Structure formats: C-alpha cells, structure tokens
Structure 1
Amino acid sequence: MRWHSLLPVALGVVLAGCAGGESRPLPRTGTTSRIQENGFGASGRSVRTLVYVLRHDMAEATEDDDRFARELAAAAPGTRVITLTQPIRGGSDPATAASRGFTRDRITHFADRIEAGRTRYPDVPTVLVGDGGGAAIAADLAGLRPKLIDGMVLAACPCMLPEWRKHMEKRMPGTSFQAAADSLDPLMTVGGIRPQTKAALLVGADDPITPPKFSRGYAEALALRGIATDYRVLPGRGNAILNDPEVLSATTRMLAALQADR
C-alpha cells in the first residue's frame, strides 16, 4: 500500500488504508441522453443514509455497473443507494465525452435528481460516489450545490481537467480534447464546498487514464479549504476501480462517520 501525507496549513489530512433494483428514466434533454436511475437497499422510514453513485459517461447502465451499489447496500444496512447514469450522445468518442461531460447544464441535471432525493429523505446524510467522469461531476456539484451533500468519494477522478485533457491528447495524438465553453474544472468550484464536507479520493497507482497526480492536486486543494480528506493510491490497480474493495471500504467508513456526527 502506498500512503501519502498532505499537511497544508493547520490541517492534518486523514489517510486510510441486497435488494432488487428499481429503474426510472428521465426525459432526454440537451446534448445528453436520459438519466437512468436504479435504487437499492433501504427504503421509506428505514433509510438512515443516502448514497448517489454517478457513473461513467460513455456507457449505458449494465448489471455489472450496479455491482458496487448492491454491495454497498448489503454492507451498510439502512442505506439507500441510487445509481445515476446519463450517457452523452456520441460518447463512445472519449474526446466528445471530455468536451460535453462537465458542463454546468449537465451538472445541474444530476444536482436536481439529488435534490429530489434530499427532499424525500430530508434528515439523513447524503454522500456522492463518483467514478471517472462521474467523479469530476460529483466534485463540481459539491462546489456548486454544497448544501446537497455531506460527503463524496471520488474514484479515478480527472479532477484537474485542463491538465487531464493535455494528458489525453498526448495519449491519443491527433485527437482534440477541447473543452466546451461552459465546462467546469473541479479546481474552479472547490471554493464553494462546505468545510464540514467529508471527502475521499482513491486512484490506481498504474492508472494510465487518470494518473494519481490529478487526484492528488485536488486533494491538496480540499485540504487547503480545511476539508477532512482521505487520499489513497492503490498499488497495482489501473483505471477501473469502482468495484475495488477499497472504494467500498472508504464509503462505508464515511457513512459511519457521518452517522456518528449526528
């Protein structure tokens, strides 16, 4: 295990080593396809924590995509886990996803769904789990709509978007990852995150798509905000880490901590 210490300012950043689904699509809007929503775990008055899983931009929801949600619902009784997927039309092209995936309009679509959940369950902690592009959206959302969430777990995050785009252009010569005019970089929105928000970032040491430096830079920015941040590099792991046990463990720890704070 590779551990990292982030100690800017006065903050010591903390480092840390099933029910059936229900589908509910929303109307197609803008440059994106419908949001696919699947629910797992607790419901009604038994809900004590609420988790939204924001998934990769480029794939329709599949049973395997729901594995993390099912396992989290089983590991954290009393948790309602909702997966949100909104594929980008033309998103099989990673450059298209990179340009359209992080716009204010798209982030608002996700935020509105999460606000609806908070209205239904007003007195329970809410956590976002983001994977890849979903992690960058979760980070932006935490800055733009800070009252909606109490914590976020970001897996394989391209959390420094301009630098990540340059990285991808080097990996894919001749491909332009030009940003949309209203694209939002998590480092632009980090100032809006509430200091009491809890954060965890996990990234594979051998991730060729979103190398650790893009998570570390964002973790440092969170720390400078006074936000308790759990940053972990997973040895031998690549880009696909959502279903890694370490991500599940980081999420259950956060849920337990939020419950203890209540």
Structure 2
Amino acid sequence: MRSSLALLLLGASLAACTPGERLGAPEPGPGLYRQSFGNTPAKQVRTLIVVLHGDAPTTKPDYHYAFARSAAAAVPQSIAVALLRPGYEDPQGHVSPGERGQTTGDNYTPDRINAVAATIRHLQRRYGQARTVVVGHSGGAAIAADLAATHPGLVDGIVLVSCPCALPEWRKHMKTVSPTPLWDAPVTSLDPVKLVGGMQPSLRAAVLVGGDDKTTPVRFSRTYAEALSLRGIATDFRIIPGKDHELLSDPEVISALQRLAAALPGKS
C-alpha cells in the first residue's frame, strides 16, 4: 500500500504543474511505449530520468507514470520518461512490443534488456545534453541493473527500488512465498549481482528496500549494494523502516533520486 504521505506529495506535484507541462504525453519514436513528464525544453534538459515498472504478475502497470510525474517535478531541468516494459499492457490499452513472460524472473533476458537500451538511445538523441538516470522498481530494478552492466556507458546512474538483484536466490525465496512449479523452470534472465564486474566505476547508484519487504527481502538489496561498493561504485544504500515491497511512491525514493542527480557531473 502506498503511504498517505506519498499520495499527498504526488497530489501536490500535480497541483504545482505549470500551464503547458506534459502530463503523460506519449513520447514519439520507435521502441517501447512510453509517456514523458516535465516542461523543460529538449535542448535545456540536463537529466533524463527513465522509469521502469515491476513484474506486475496480476495487474496492468501504470503506477510508474505517477512516479515519473513526481520525478520530473523534483529534479531541476529534467524530463522523466516512464517505459512500458516489453510485452506489457497498461490499463489504458497501450502495449509495448515483445513477450511479457511468466513474471517469475524469466523476463530479464538479453532481448528485453536490449529493447530497453534501444529506447533509451532514441531518447538520448533527443535530449543530447542530459545525463541519464534509470529508476527501476522490483523486476524493473533488475533490468536497470542488468542494463547498466551489459551496456556500460549508456547510463550515468541507477536507482534500484525493491530489487530481486540476486536472481537464483530470489527465485528460491519466491517458491516458498508462492509455491508453484513455475519457479523451478529454467530461465535465461541475467543475474544482476553476477554482472557487477562489467559496470563502469564512474556509475552512481542508489539502492532502496523496505524493511518489511516480503517479496524482495532486505538481504537481496544488501548483497547487491555491497557488490557495487566493492566495484568502487558510489552507492547510497537505504533500508526504509516499516515499508513493504510497494516502495516506489515513498518520498525516500524521490530524495535518493534528487541526491544522485545532483551528484552527477554535467555533460561536456
């Protein structure tokens, strides 16, 4: 459940929108379906924020649109673009090309990661002076981590929220939470913690997890944050007390994004 404080902040950001601000405008161009938020002219954008939703096994995701709206309002000179992951459909009927998968950790595969990367490259051509920060929740966090490792230099920062970042161990955990033979099926997904060695040390990262998260318990985020630190990557690791898996709307996530964006050097 999203906290009442987080919802109040989201409402306040909506009330503060200036005339002409894009509120969920479909972002043009090829690739995954996406909506953009913010009113900074393209040539003046200094931070491109890309938002990835989670696996959403029982719903059609659109909560990442609300986060992108708040992110654009919180980070100066930014545009936030919320992507619909490959094969997913949102409640309004928008669909991204590709296969959704079984949502058992099976859809963090190279083809899906490459589809996200191609869409980001298209956005970067439009916002050529911007640093790129990818914010991912749950399965979207795993994809963001894999993306940063397999496409080094593509992004400048990652904010990972409720991440299943130690994939085989997380799938074993989920089999105890939701017993089904699907968790035993082999997958070709990439395991984020095993890819940390491919990341550029200049990357900046924030890793956040709820203290009461039963879906992606703290140990998975801690393991990944420790691996990042050993790689020499500046990492802001935070456990949010009393919070569960649905953490993306929490004000702490926006605060972490603000700190990370402010610490990134400008593009030359």
Q: Deviations over 1:105-164 (max 9, x none)?
A: 111100111111222223321100000100000000000001110100000000000000
| Paired residues of 1:25 and 1:35 also in contact (CA < 8 A) | no
| Paired residues of 2:135 and 2:158 also in contact (CA < 8 A) | yes
Structure 2 unpaired stretches of 5+: 1-16, 90-99
Q: Deviations over 1:64-115 (max 9, x none)?
A: 432211111111121010001126469xxx9911243111111110011111
Counterpart residue number, 2:238: 232
Range that drifts further, 37-46 or 170-179? 170-179
More contact order relative to length (CA 8 Å, sep ≥ 6):
1
In structure 2, which of residues 29, 32, 45 is the aligned counterpart of residue 35 of structure 1? Answer: 32
Counterpart residue number, 1:124: 130
| Paired residues of 2:105 and 2:171 also in contact (CA < 8 A) | no
User: What TM-score do the two structures reach when normalised by structure 1?
Assistant: 0.83
Letter in 2 for 1:55: H
| Paired residues of 2:48 and 2:80 also in contact (CA < 8 A) | yes
Counterpart residue number, 1:82: 81
Counterpart residue number, 1:66: 65
Counterpart residue number, 2:97: none
User: What TM-score do the two structures reach when normalised by structure 2?
Assistant: 0.81
Counterpart residue number, 1:53: 51
Between the aligned partners of 2:76 and 2:25, the Cα distance in structure 1 is 18
Identical residues among aligned pairs (%): 46
Counterpart residue number, 1:96: 102
1:192 matched to 2:198: yes
> Where does 1:154-193 land on structure 2 (aligned, <5 Å)?
154-178=160-184, 180-193=186-199
Between the aligned partners of 1:132 and 1:251, the Cα distance in structure 2 is 16
Letter in 1 for 2:66: R
Structure 1 unpaired stretches of 5+: 1-17, 28-33
Counterpart residue number, 1:4: none
| Paired residues of 1:95 and 1:176 also in contact (CA < 8 A) | no
Residues 251 and 149 (structure 1 numbering): CA distance in 2 closer, same or farther, change over 3 Å? same
Count of residue correspondences? 235
| Paired residues of 2:105 and 2:167 also in contact (CA < 8 A) | no
| Paired residues of 1:103 and 1:184 also in contact (CA < 8 A) | yes
Letter in 2 for 1:75: A
Q: Which 4+ runs in 1 deviate beyond 4 A?
A: 24-27, 87-90, 259-262
Between the aligned partners of 2:183 and 2:64, the Cα distance in structure 1 is 26
In structure 2, which of residues 150, 153, 158 is the aligned counterpart of residue 144 of structure 1? Answer: 150
Superposition deviation, residue 204 in structure 1:
0.3
SS of match in other structure, 2:158:
strand
Residues 25 and 157 (structure 1 numbering): CA distance in 2 closer, same or farther, change over 3 Å? farther
Between the aligned partners of 2:44 and 2:148, the Cα distance in structure 1 is 26
Superposition deviation, residue 182 in structure 1:
2.5
